[in-house]
Chains A and B, each alone.
Chain A
Amino acid sequence: MTATAPRATEPGWLAALRREGAARFEALRFPTTRDEDWRFTDLAPVAKANLGAARAAGPLTEADLTPYLFGHAEWPRLVFANGRFQAELSRLTGLPAAARVEPLADLLADAPELVEETLGQLAVQPASAALVAQNAAGFTDGYAIVLPAGAVVDTPIHVLFVSDANAVLGTTLPRNVVVLGANAVASVVESYLSLADGVALTNTVTEASLGEGARFDHCKVQREGAEAFHLATFDARQERDSYLNSFSFAEGAAISRTNIYTTLAGPGAHATLYGLYLGEGRQQVDHQTRIEHAAPDCTSWEVYKGILDGHSHGVFNGKVYVHPEAQKTDGKQTNKNLLLSETAKVDTKPQLEIFADDVKCTHGATVGSLDAVPLFYLRSRGIPEDEARTLLTYAFAADVLEEIRSRPVVDHLEDLMRAWLAKAGRRGRAAAGRESA
């Protein structure tokens, strides 16, 4: 069981948050497929594994991280191993003097009032209640970004959450808070990585408060191990004219569920939600997004793409909820899936719930395999079939990566996708070989 982990230095409100979380999680436990929001993803294996808290990580060096680093050497970096901050591997230089970018535990010890109105206040969607409760009860650490009005941190802050062998058969509960003052700008890449194989649970929660005119780029890169369970909730609240650009890349874990939620609370707020998920073997990869249009004149744009191979199962459930006061809402939501095998499957459910009358909202979803016509066209130009398939598969998804603002991040994810496709190509050839043998 995940025990509460209060610290002596924590303020009363936080202790209360932890107590409530523990009680709530005790009552709710992990959701089951009887819950409409969890219909397609069965967490029974997670519940059954009954994992306690992860042990502290063993010694880590820069070399352990090298394969997962990208971008520029001067990017600020925070590293957490099994949920604990690794000061010697982190680098917090080059930030504006007024910016606070640091481990959440440090900030809570020093100036908890800076996040009091955000931590535990934004991640309130019922679908994520059990996950958020478990996290609140036991979270150890995570990143905190608090920027005063007008502060601009233009380079992405790379946050790495790594799990080593000591996390196997354990639970890691990262907790992150972002508070952006008016017109502040920040960009974060959250990477989730496993340095060792084995069953382990990560249940992470990120809350982001975007002040008027603020901009936040959030990119989540989930590459956990083949036996890992990955649960994640991101929930933002956006004031007037703020802009959230969210990207979720998922290729790891046995079972993963990523919730990306935002509330457009002030007029003129704008959210773009993008995602790319890749599944193979028996992977279960689930995304749920929810955009609450709670104010007039807000826009949201969403594109999620999935490529599923083997016996993998992709799930996309996106809801755009337009409150009665959210007139002149402009929302568009798209989910496209490409199946590379006959045994892969996708459940996709884009949903609109509209309670205002003057809105423009569309949604659509597709599930299909590679189109034979372009495939023949490429082959007729001499491009071998596997290469043509890889090229078309890449082309299917690559455009969504371009929506990430930081070029080095785009390049990195392109590399990951190419590596994944090369693996898929090898699997395909191996399978074809077995058939013809």
Chain B
Amino acid sequence: MYWNQKYETMPREELRALQLERLQLTVERVYRNVPFYRQRFTEMGIKPSSIRSLEDLRRLPFTTKQDLRDNYPFGLFAVPLSEVVRIHASSGTTGKPTVVGYTQNDIRTWAELIARCLVCAGATKFDVVQNAYGYGLFTGGLGLHFGAELLGATVVPVSGGNTQRQLMLMQDFGTTILCCTPSYALYMAEEGQKMGIDFKKLPLKAGIFGAEPWSERMRAQLEEKLDLMALDIYGLSEIMGPGVAMECRYKQGMHIFEDHFIPEIIDPDTGEVLPPGEEGELVITTITKEAFPLIRYRTRDVTRLVVDPCPCGRTHARITRITGRTDDMLIIRGVNVFPSQVESVLLEFGETEPHYLLVVDRKANLDHLEIWVEVAEHMFSDKVRQLEDLEGRLRERIQSVLGISAKVKLVEPNTIPRFEGKAKRVVDRREI
């Protein structure tokens, strides 16, 4: 079962020809419409006509999150704002978010790719899709939503949180496809068990789980507890959102939709392209996006590329589970968190050289973030109320910048370990 058989099963030679054609168009477009790219290309002596084969992609410069930040908010858009029909945003490395835009066509493409993902999970128009990804600036909710509608399924746009209501709707509406983060799905499973729900009696058949790293151990738990097929979905807002890649029912990596994206795996230190099968950083070039095309975007996700044929018949290459990051980004409750965001808040509070630590734990399948802050003399007071007030203000500000709640814990000076002069910023105690 495919959503778009022609493209999903296109012979690789033909697919490569299509990729080259689309890459050339994209390079041409960004050269013409995005000053940032024109300047970069010119500095490197590259003209759109320099791209004659897919191998020439390697001659193009990388794009990084820093480049996105430098061009905040709309500097990298390749169309006028009048053509942009939607904006999404994700965490930036400081107080400012990373902003992305979509044209009408981009939204249509996104919906098509999500429809392909849903079909990968065996979904049809007869399914009831409970979409528990957050709606809003985050791409998860609306991304899944439009694809499920395109497929013709019945979408329940419940968004994240409110577990009691999720479980009630799941039973009453006869949810067959559940979309959320894998840790939240496990949390729901356990809450449901406590309430006496027998998931084996529910019509759930597949889960589309993503937005955070997970494992085969979690897959086994999810499939056992919820009695469904648990599949991994990959995406990032910079590239599009969810639906950049999706597992098929053979669960041997996520097919990356190569008619819209060109993946490369690089050595994160040298930038050198690695052969298929080797682990490295995933770099993606978008080849159909209009509003926000990106050339060789460094995702910072660590994975491998598998190009062997898949039993499902899809010819698109697969990426294996994301095993780590090449930067210090954390994913907490599906939300991207950078330690530098916390630092920016502490700087606002008059800290000149803040010493802090993010401690992440997972209790009963829920992520908990604790932020330890060393109490400097200028923050200190002999009054308890004043220190509690400081904790409260820090907590509120951090929550507003990170988009998730965190507990702030004031600690004594020099309690946060320092290694070779460089402070350790993260302790992640989660077992995935």
Asked whether A and B interact, the reply is no
